[in-house]
Structures are given as C-alpha cells and as structure tokens.
Structure 1
Amino acid sequence: MTKSVKWIGLFCSLTLSIPTFAQYASDAFRYSEINQTGTARFQGLGGNHAALGGDASSISGNPAGLGFYTRSEFSISPSLTNYSTKSEYIGNTTTDGKTKFFPISNASLVITNKPGYQRRWKSSSLGISYSRQQSFQNRFSYSGLNNRSAYVNKVLENVNSTKPTSATLDGDFDSDTKLAYSEAAAYYQLFLINPTTATGAPYNRYDANSPTQQLGEFDSKGAQTQWNFTYAGNFDDKLYVGGSIGFNRIKYDYIHTLTETYTTGTVFRGARQSEDLTVSGNGVNATFGVIYKLTPTFQLGGSLTSPTFTKLRETFNQSTQADYIVGSIRDDKGVDVGPSLLDISQAPNDFEYSMSSPLRGSLGATVFINQKGFITGSLEYVGYGGMRVRTKYLSDADNQSFKESYKQEIQETYKAGINARLGGEYRSGIFRGRLGFAYLSDPYKIQSDGINRAKLLYSAGVGVRTDRFFADISGTYNAFKSVYTPYVLTNAQDYASAKINNHTTNVVLTVGTFF
C-alpha cells in the first residue's frame, strides 16, 4: 500500500470541495451527458438518429439506419469548436474561452452486401466508426473582492471540525520529500493556519479580517471517444434492424488555480491554491435499433442503448503557495520565525473506480415530402437516476459504503431526462440545405441555486451529393448555464459561486465517397 493510499482517509476527511471522494456523482453525470454527435449532415439536422437512415451516424446512433445503404461508403469529419464563457462572481463579470481544431471528430466505413438473387432480405451492411461522443474542453475564469472569506477559511472549518493535534499535522508532512499528506498539514507548515492551544485546536489564521481579491482560472480538456461495430439488415424494404457494440474511451484533465490577495494583509500578501485531475478509462456498451417504413413517405424508428460500463483511474494533485511578508513574524529577539517553505505540494492521490452510465432510449418519426426533402423528430429518454459508481480500491466495508452512499446521492440529485430533437432537409438537385433544433432537459431534481441547466442547440448545414462523392458542412450553437463553487463553508452567506453562461459553436465538415 502506498503512503498516499494510507493517508487517503485523513486526506478526504479534511477536504470537502476536491473531486476525490467528494464528487463522483457529478463525475458520473459528466461522463454520461451526450449533446450532439455524428456527421455534419446529422448534426445539421439536430442530431436526429431515431427514424432516419442512410448516414454513417447511424453506426453510433440507431444502427438500424445502416440497413438503408445500397452501396459502400467511407467518410471523415474534422471539426472546429469555439468555447466562450462569461462568469459572474461577487458582482464582477469575466469573459474567457478558447478555440480547438479536431482533425477527426468522426470517421466511418460502411460495407454493404446485396445478394445476387431475389430474397426478402434485400441487403445487409457492416459499419465501423470512430466518433467523439463528448468533448470535455472548457475554459472559464472568475474574479471578485470577497469581504467574507478566503479559501483558508474552508481549511479552518474542516480542521476545527476534526480537531487534529499539532503533532498529527506535523506527522502528515514529510520533511525529506517536502510533501504533505493532507491539505491541513500543508496550510499548517505554511503558517496559514495556526494553533491556539498547546495541543493545537482550535486553529486560527493571520489577516482574518482582510478583504480578499480572488481570481480563479479553470481549464479542462479531453474527450469521450468510441469505436462502434454495427451490423444491420433490410427486410423487404419495410423493416430495418441493426445492432452495435461500442468500445468507449474517456480521457479528462483539468487544472484549477485560485489566486488570492489579502488587500490589507500584514503577515501574508495572499495565497495560491492549485489542483489538477487526470482521469482515463475504458468501457463497453451495446445498442439495438429498429426502423419501420409504414408508407413510402412515413417511417418510425427507435433504439435502446445499454449503460456504458466503464473502469476509470484518476490521479489528483494539489499544491499551496503562501506569499509571506518577510519579517512580519518575529521572536523575542527580533529574528524572523515565519514559514521556512512557501510552496508545498500534497502527495498525489490515486484512485480507481467503475461507473455505469444511464440507460438510453429514443423514438422518432420521419415524413418525406415528395422528392424535396423530409422532416424528422425524436424524443430521447436518459435515465440519469440509474447511474452508479463503485470501487474495489478500499476495504470491503468501505467499498460497500462508497457504492451505497453514491447510489443515494445520485438518486437524490438526478432525474430522468427527456430530450427533444427536430430537423429538416431540403433537396434541390445535388444540393442540400438543413436546419435542426435540440432541447436537452435539466437533469437536476432541485435547482437550489436557481439555475436552469437545460441546453438549447441550434444547427444548420448545407451539402452536395453526386453519384460518387458527397460533402456536408454544419454549424451548431449550444447555450447553457452552469455554476462553479471554489469552496464551501457552513454559512452559505460566507462564500460565493461563479454563475457561468456557456456558449459553444461547433463547425463540422464531412467528406466521403461511395464505392
């Protein structure tokens, strides 16, 4: 057992806002939410997969759609995405963002077989695709003058609740490696928290009454990608059925830094708290789909996707820097006895767990308007309350406690989501024009912060199709709100949250050939 694992219990008991052991319910949601995927054509239609075929997006959407193919196809889709944020924190507004280019957001190969003699099974198709199911790219910053607290107040609340002795906090610091094994130990070695009794507790801080200028910066990257292998068939040009297996890969990293300036500090000018998280994992799921053509101009479809069963490994790091005013703490002889270190890192914290994402189901319909195009729509059910996390990393009793506590938290926090999508395509010769809309409902049971987290996605696209070649381009605008809280205190009036308006614009180009 490594030393970081040995101290994991104490580490977690002294920290409330870090991701490790505190936010696995929200982590499960992060890795389960899918906005819009597929080729430029389907994204331009609002992400509708349920009752529309003949596109490589069906491989990871409704696999029955692959049954519409009458010839083989290869396509590739690069994309360009702009992430823009506006944050409000303690009456101050800050803007941020970034732009990223992804050389491959979707790549697909469809191989179609048509029997050489008449039979009711008209054709079958095998599809292989690589797609970005989610993007974890994000960047926001927030700043404001906090007259009620600083991050150190969170550390004080935790340490005064658990009441470790000064000797315990000294023991949680390795003087050889200069590593702390708890957040409180790092703050204690930096003199940011100090004992008031011979044994230690209660602890207090210098510059307790100083207003604090706070600047937070958050940057994340990564994606959830998936390889899908799909087989579908066409029965009598009426019934289309298909199934797929998806092999999922998650890679997520973030860095968050909170820089604080004590505006009237006499001992410290301020402090800086940094943290970063690296997560990687692999999973598997399965999808079954059906599309039935009632008439030549009207068809219904639906698909069911199992939970994705994923194993994840993460590493969490924290460090603290103190901006000490040299000479401000002296002994009776006038010698400076302030902190000997001004920058302390905590031992990396590794953890492994498994996650199951929600069950998904979708139903839709498509109406064809002569040879001029079509209108398609769908409803999607996402059972967020059924997400689960579990681990085998701890003792048997702690593993069971981990599973049960997060099951309860998930069920109390999240509800089933009902998402709606609507899109249409107009055809004129080889040219295509598309519009789409998607509404992704707020999955939270209680909006304690007054924020509606529903998402609205607007999309549009154009394309050309010839006998051997096609090219499509689409743009999707996504607007939604979120909240980030750098730390939590007992009194809700003593800390603040950044309310963030997120705006994402994604442009996808798909080019392909038939053969």
Structure 2
Amino acid sequence: MKKRILWLCLALAVGQAGHAYAQGPDDALRYSRLQFGGPARTQGIAGANVALGADFGNLTSNPAGLGFYQKSEVHAGLGVGIGNSNTSLNGSGKLSDNANSVNVPSIGLVLATRRPDNDQSYWRGGAFALGFTRLADYNVASNYSGSVTDNRSFFQYLREGDPTQFANVNSQYNNNQYTNIDGLAYAGYLTDQLVTKRNQGNANAPADSIGTRNRIGNIAQGERIVSSGSMSQFDLGYGGNYRDKLYIGVGVGVVSSNYRQSRDFTEEENAPSTPFANLLLHDELHTTGTGINGRLGLIYRVANAVRLGASVQSPTFMRMTDTYSTSLNTNFTPQGQTGNNIISNVFNSTVPGAYDYTITTPFRANGGVAVVIGKYGFLSGDVEYVGYGQARINNDPNGANGDNSSFAAQNQRIQELYRNTVNFRVGAEGRFDIFRARLGFATYGDPYKTATPGTNGAQNFYTAGLGIRQKSLFVDLAGVYTTFNRNYSPYTLSSGQEPVAMVNNTRFTTSITAGLIF
C-alpha cells in the first residue's frame, strides 16, 4: 500500500465497481417529459391543436387532424433558444448562468387528396404526412457557490456505503485503472485504509476499511453544470376524412435523443492548519438513444364551428447508451505534512466507460376542443394525461455494453417519486386578410408526488406568433417563453441532509417557418 498522510480517522464506505453512472429516476423523467414542438404556427398557439385539424403539429399530437388538409404543403423551420438560470445553495446568494442554442424545430411534407364535391363517396379524402419535430430541449446551464458543514460535505458522502470494499479500491490503485469515485478519492489522498486490531491478532475486530478525516469549520462548495442536446421525432402519419364529419388518423414515430452533461464540482478547505486545500471533480456524460411509438386519434365535427378531438400515444420504447468519464484533481498545502513525502497535487481519471440499457416512457392521452370563428380565426384548448410513474428502466443484455443488472429498485423509486399529471394548453388565432396573429399558454403539471418547499415542478409556457398566408406560400414567426424550477443535490446522504441548490430557469425560443402550398 502506498504511503499516505495519516490524518484520516473516520470509517468510509465505498461503492462497488461497475458502470460509474447509475441510471435512475432522473433519466426516466428526462426522456418522458416532452414539450410541444412543430412549426411556428403550432408553437404560437402553445401546441393546442388536438381538435384543430389542418395543422402540421397534428402529426405528433393527433394524426386525425391530417384529414382536414385539402392541399399539399412542404415546410422547414429554424429556431434560436436563449436560456438563463439563477441558482442558490442552501439559501445563499443567487448566481446566474446561460445556455443558448440554434435548432431546427420542424421539417415536414403533407400530401393531400380530396374527392370532387360531386363525388358521393363517404370517404372525402385524406393526407399522408412525413416530418421531423423537435420535442425536448436539454440546453441548460447553472452554477452555485456556498458553504456547508463537514457532515454535509463531499467527504461525508465518501464516508457512507459498504465498508468492505477496500480491496476493490486498493486494486484500482495498484492497477492504475480507476472505475469509480471511490478509487479516485483513494488515489487522490482523500481516503485511506484504516488498519484495525484484526490485523494485530484480534479476530473479532472489524476488517480493514476506508477512512477520511473530520474537517474544521464551514467548507466552501460550488458546482457548474452544463447540459445540451435535444429529443426529436421522425413521424409518418395518415388522416382520413369521413363525410366531412369524422376524421380518423394513425401515426408512427421514431425517436432520436442526444444528451450531454458536463459537471465541475469543487470543495475548498477554509482551515489553514490542515494539509487539504481543494478538490475539483469533473464528470462527462453523453447519452444517445433511439425509440419507437405509435398513436391513434379522431376528431368529430359537432357543428360547423365546433370540433372535439382525442388521441392516445403508446409508451415509447428506447434503447439507450451512456458513455462517461470522471476525473479528480486534489491540491494540498505543506501545513500538517511531515517527512519527505510532501504531497502538493494529484490528478487521476476513470477508464472511459459505456453502458447500454432501455427506457420505456409513459402512455399519453389527449383531449381537445376547438371553436372556429368563421374566417376570423379560432380558439382551441387541450388536456393531456401523462403517467410519469409508469416509466421503466431495464437492462439491455443484447447491447454491446449491456448486462443482466436488475433495475427493480430504480423502478420502485420511480413509482415512489412520480405521479400522474395533467397538462393544459390553450391557443387562439386571429385572421386579418392574409395576416395571422396568435397567442397561447400551456402549463405542464408537477410530476413529483411530494412537493419540495419553495419549488414547483410545473412548467409554464407563454407563446405568441405572427404569420402571412397566401394561396401558394406561408411564413410564420413564433416566440415561446418558458419558466420552470427544480431542486438539485450533487450527491445524497443517508441523513437526508445533503446540500440542496434551488435552480430557477427561464428560456425564450423564437422560430421561423416558411412553406409552400401546392
């Protein structure tokens, strides 16, 4: 065993070796919680189109709306997102951060057919649609800085766990092949072996374990987290028109997800008499996934001005791959160190890892009503049900980096944390000759069963839009202002006293869509 600074006194439990990023409830929620997407027209009315019809956004919400198309069209869009966050740790002062992005919100083609008015067939026509829609935006950056006591610090996290794993940690060090944070902490002089009386002939004493020191006074702690990426869907759908009264549609979607997260976590010792100065823990995670889902929908024209709509979407089955790495940089001062083995800086990183698994997102159901005010515009409203507690994570033994691990505990935790929620969307469009003006609002319910004091997990969307529509072309603009907040902890402790950062997020997304009608 290598020589170490002998300042370590408390038993430390370390985790088992294996893939360093544990998949859990946060991952299930990330890929289950979608936003309304589509062209600028759809975004301008906050996605409230389940009963509307003849809106390209129907391809992902209610494919029955495709049956309203009487002419074909093609469109493409471009969007810009500007995000801001304000974060405080344990009630300390807020720090701001931002994350901006350029994106493609929607590309689509609709091929419509319509029987002549003198054709007596009950089926009046329909439309096929093929498109790309961006359904989730992962671009968020946040940072915080504050102070914690020793029993809430990262060192306390290192002290908890299985005290019998010293052999695994020592093996990582001897082979210079680190697979988890416990190995890095040991190599970085944050932990050490505690030799017990068993090695001195007392067979009843505990086996050797890992220890770390007590720290003095408040400890400076901070972190910056940057996430990026999106979830998009490629859809094929058809909507048919029965007697200009009942519209029925079906669609299938292929999901593509790309998520990246980078974290820099720091702790700094404020006691000048101790050798430890500070640490920097850096994590990188990249998750890619593909999946498939299907949906059915219908719209019924109650009267010329009133339409009722409903749709259901199957759970999305996704195959995921995580690639990840972690590094730990520790710095020391000469204070408290003796002898010739003076340590100033240690840097080590884990072996890059990969892991394959699957996620099944919840079933979704939508209902809506639309009132068309002749040539002057319309009003539309939707209600959506999502059962977040139904999400599931499972192993992928057939994946190149999969195994037969059980996710029973994680799935039980998903059921304990998340609940069924209802999302509401309302929108309106006013028509003035060739010009269009739009407003909308949506609120997506808090997915958590237990509310956290001072936070609300709901997401609110405030939308507006303008457009020009002529016989052969259209151009639309939209703006979406989103607010949401959450609590974040860099780690969890058995006492439940881990540091908690409150993150308040806002994001403004603007998009433009141009299309041709033929």
Q: Normalized against structure 2, the TM-score is what? A: 0.89
Which residue is equivalent to 2:189? 191
Which residue is equivalent to 2:212? 205
Instruction: Pick closer, same or farther for the CA change 1:12–1:247 going to 2, 3 Å.
Output: farther
Asked if residue 230 in structure 1 is aligned to residue 237 in structure 2, the reply is: yes
Question: How many residue pairs were aligned?
Answer: 490
In structure 2, distance between residues paired with 1:338 and 1:168: 24
* Gaps in structure 1 of 5+ consecutive residues: 1-9
Offset of residue 305 of structure 1: 0.6
In structure 1, distance between residues paired with 2:487 and 2:35: 19
Asked if residue 302 in structure 1 is aligned to residue 310 in structure 2, the reply is: yes
In structure 1, distance between residues paired with 2:14 and 2:284: 16
Asked if residue 137 in structure 1 is aligned to residue 135 in structure 2, the reply is: no
Offset of residue 327 of structure 1: 7.4
Give SS of 1:31's match: helix
**Which of 106, 126, 129 does residue 127 from structure 1 map onto?**
129
In structure 2, distance between residues paired with 1:169 and 1:32: 36
Which residue is equivalent to 1:504? 507
Offset of residue 491 of structure 1: 2.7
Which residue is equivalent to 1:335? 340
Q: Residues 406-485 of structure 1 correspond to what in structure 2 (within 5 A)?
A: 406-448=410-452, 451-485=455-489
1:475-509 Cα deviation digits (max 9, x unpaired): 1111111111012223334x311101111111111
Q: Residues 147-186 of structure 1 correspond to what in structure 2 (within 5 A)?
A: 147-148=149-150, 149-158=152-161, 161-165=162-166, 167-175=167-175, 178-186=176-184
Which residue is equivalent to 1:7? none
Which region of structure 1 is more displaced relative to structure 2, 149-158 or 89-98?
A: 149-158
In structure 2, distance between residues paired with 1:353 and 1:293: 44
Q: Which amino acid aligns with 1:228?
A: D
Q: Is the 8 A contact 2:17 2:168 kept in 1?
A: no
Offset of residue 128 of structure 1: 0.5
Which residue is equivalent to 2:247? 240
In structure 1, distance between residues paired with 2:343 and 2:217: 19
Asked if residue 218 in structure 1 is aligned to residue 225 in structure 2, the reply is: yes
In structure 2, distance between residues paired with 1:403 and 1:71: 49
Asked if residue 357 in structure 1 is aligned to residue 361 in structure 2, the reply is: yes
Q: Is the 8 A contact 2:424 2:444 kept in 1?
A: yes
Offset of residue 328 of structure 1: 4.9
Which residue is equivalent to 1:85? 85
1:371-424 Cα deviation digits (max 9, x unpaired): 211111011011212111111449xxx978724323322221111111111111
Which residue is equivalent to 2:325? 317
In structure 2, distance between residues paired with 1:409 and 1:465: 50
Offset of residue 449 of structure 1: 5.0
Q: Which amino acid aligns with 1:274?
A: H
In structure 1, distance between residues paired with 2:101 and 2:125: 40
Which residue is equivalent to 1:5? none
Asked if residue 39 in structure 1 is aligned to residue 39 in structure 2, the reply is: yes
Which residue is equivalent to 1:256? 263
In structure 2, distance between residues paired with 1:505 and 1:324: 44
Q: Is the 8 A contact 2:49 2:380 kept in 1?
A: no
Q: Which amino acid aligns with 1:365?
A: V
In structure 2, distance between residues paired with 1:407 and 1:320: 31
In structure 2, distance between residues paired with 1:303 and 1:490: 44
Q: Which amino acid aligns with 1:505?
A: F
Instruction: Pick closer, same or farther for the CA change 1:11–1:496 going to 2, 3 Å.
Output: closer
In structure 2, distance between residues paired with 1:282 and 1:164: 36
Which residue is equivalent to 1:376? 380
Which residue is equivalent to 1:6? none
1:96-143 Cα deviation digits (max 9, x unpaired): 1122111x2100111112346712222121100011111111100011
In structure 1, distance between residues paired with 2:15 and 2:136: 29
Identity of aligned residues (%): 28
Offset of residue 11 of structure 1: 8.0
1:173-205 Cα deviation digits (max 9, x unpaired): 254xx3313322221122111233256845443
Q: Is the 8 A contact 2:393 2:411 kept in 1?
A: yes
* Gaps in structure 2 of 5+ consecutive residues: 1-12, 200-206
In structure 2, distance between residues paired with 1:135 and 1:260: 30
1:209-242 Cα deviation digits (max 9, x unpaired): 1532122000011111110001111111111111
Which region of structure 1 is more displaced relative to structure 2, 141-150 or 354-363?
A: 141-150
Which residue is equivalent to 1:64? 64
Which region of structure 1 is more displaced relative to structure 2, 443-452 or 198-207?
A: 198-207
Which region of structure 1 is more displaced relative to structure 2, 228-237 or 347-356?
A: 347-356
In structure 1, distance between residues paired with 2:14 and 2:494: 19
Which residue is equivalent to 2:7? none
Give SS of 1:56's match: coil
Give SS of 2:375's match: coil
Offset of residue 207 of structure 1: 6.5
Q: Is the 8 A contact 1:207 1:264 kept in 2?
A: no
In structure 1, distance between residues paired with 2:452 and 2:479: 33
Instruction: Pick closer, same or farther for the CA change 1:476–1:120 going to 2, 3 Å.
Output: same
Give SS of 2:94's match: strand
In structure 2, distance between residues paired with 1:228 and 1:29: 22
Instruction: Pick closer, same or farther for the CA change 1:75–1:168 going to 2, 3 Å.
Output: closer
Give SS of 2:57's match: helix
Give SS of 1:125's match: strand
Asked if residue 271 in structure 1 is aligned to residue 279 in structure 2, the reply is: yes
Which residue is equivalent to 2:111? 111
RMSD between aligned alpha carbons? 2.4
1:434-467 Cα deviation digits (max 9, x unpaired): 1111111111111255522011111111111111
In structure 2, distance between residues paired with 1:462 and 1:293: 27
Asked if residue 491 in structure 1 is aligned to residue 499 in structure 2, the reply is: no
